[in-house]
Amino acid sequence: MNKLTSKHRKLAYVMAIIVLLIPVIWLGMPSTGEEGSGGELAQLRVQHELGESTLGDVDPSSASMNFVLLGLRGIATNLLWMDANDYQKKKEWAKLRSTVDSIILLQPHYMKVWDFQGWNLAYNVSAEWDAVEDRYFWVKEGIKFLNEGVTRNERYPELDWKVGNLHGQKVGRSDEWRQFRNFYKVDPDAERYEGGPDPEINPERLDNYQVAKEKFLIANEKELKHKQHLQMRMLFRASPWHAQFDYANAMQREGKFGKQRTDAWAQGFKDWTTIFGREEFITPKGPIVLEWTEDDIKNLAGRDENITEADVRHWTNRYQDTSNYRFWRTRALSESETETIDAHKAIYDGEQLFRSGKFDEAKVQLEKGMALYALVLNKYPSLLSEDLAIEEGLQAVILWRYIHDLKGLQVPASFPLKPLWNKEQGRVPELENDLRRRYGIQ
């Protein structure tokens, strides 16, 4: 039996509480924000960058929501995900958007949620709408959503990369890329944005690929500190420079062949060879650089006695193949030349003339473009390893042959891009279908 009096018992309880408080305080005292302050757990949190504030901006509503839900966050999140799926199925877009926001309140540092829902808004929800203006609105929603994810999670280079990808690929490569690229500079909501772009998307009124490049550069910067798990490191780090090429190429697709386009290609070549090309990447046989000299090979091989110059050459070659390094180097170089510009311009003009029904003039331009393009391909045969370059030539030939059909003319036995035409016959049917859709050819 307990022989202690009530008073003694209470004293014992107080003592026990004090004794237990010592380890609790030692372990759990919160940090004051200064380095080294706080209990053991707070210091470990800082050391391993696990604290809420070290992950990114803290949203007070999110933190309070998690606090209020106690241990039921998982269940609440699951219910919200089911709701979000249901709203998407039933095309309740406003509810979907607010439910996604609620999910984010509960899981602010779970990268996959930002990734999936950002993509879902920009791709899936956008595609559900019929008007291009509405589709663009939802692409912007996806970008804004991911932007929010970036500010709340500073340790995920993947998220910055995804933002860059939406600015670049989604805006610049969708079916509606012409309209999207225009909207990027002049938002369709003219009343709200006064004839300018949405400042949350494009504050500096740049091209979408220029913004993409900026975002990819931020991703690259973060990647130096925090490992990304998206793709091979070399390919991840090539993204800003690809965005530069896309920027130059997009101008070409829109028929802009002036100095701005040539400068963009020149800048692309410079970035590719002096920044990306000179970056060291680790291979199973030590480091390599893609833009190399004999001295580089010797130096790199000399760092480790187990690695020979042949090893370095072998792995450099493999990595160059993987990143299509040589192709882009040659392409960027060739695009600065007058001959190449003229070839692109003639083919582009031929296509535009064809579109407007001026078949005779189109034929002349296409023939000129094909002849010039053949010269470019002869000069830079490595261009034949890339789809875009091949398709441009084949499309010119298809249109040129189609004009012959329309006019009832015999296609000459010999024509400038014949070797390419014969070699790439496998691609022709798909390209023909594509052109039929594009030009309404029956």
Judged by the rule CB under 8 A, the positions of this chain that interact with other proteins are 60-61, 89-95, 97-98, 100-102, 105, 129-134, 137, 140-141, 175-176, 179, 192, 437
Q: Which of 137, 125, 123, 63 minimizes the C-alpha distance to 99?
A: 125
Q: Pick the closer one to other proteins by CB: 140 or 285.
A: 140
Q: Pick the closer one to other proteins by CB: 121 or 377.
A: 121
Q: Please report how close the Cβ of residue 58 comes to other proteins at its closest, in angstroms.
A: 13
Q: Pick the closer one to other proteins by CB: 97 or 152.
A: 97
Q: Please report how close the Cβ of residue 329 comes to other proteins at its closest, in angstroms.
A: 35
- 78-84: list long-range contacts, CB under 8 Å, 24+ apart: 80/106, 84/117
Q: Please report how close the Cβ of residue 139 comes to other proteins at its closest, in angstroms.
A: 12
Round to whole Å and give the CA distance between 390 and 331: 12
Q: Pick the closer one to other proteins by CB: 100 or 374.
A: 100
Q: Which of 74, 153, 158, 91 minimizes the C-alpha distance to 119?
A: 158
Q: Please report how close the Cβ of residue 209 comes to other proteins at its closest, in angstroms.
A: 21
Other C-beta atoms closer than 10 Å to the C-beta of 409 total 11
Q: Pick the closer one to other proteins by CB: 105 or 251.
A: 105
Q: Please report how close the Cβ of residue 70 comes to other proteins at its closest, in angstroms.
A: 16
Question: In the numeric block, which tokens belong to residue 308?
Answer: 């020979």
Q: Please report how close the Cβ of residue 129 comes to other proteins at its closest, in angstroms.
A: 6
Q: Pick the closer one to other proteins by CB: 105 or 383.
A: 105
Sign of CA dihedral 87, 88, 89, 90: positive
Q: Please report how close the Cβ of residue 125 comes to other proteins at its closest, in angstroms.
A: 11
Round to whole Å and give the CA distance between 429 and 105: 50
Q: Pick the closer one to other proteins by CB: 379 or 438.
A: 438
Instruction: Report yes or no: 273 and 291 within 8 Å, Cβ to Cβ.
Output: yes
| 283 φ, ψ (degrees, to nearest 5) | -115, 175
Residue 51 burial class via C-beta count within 10 angstroms: exposed 0-12, middle 13-18, buried 19 and up: middle
Which residues of 290-356 form beta strands (DSSP E)? Answer: none
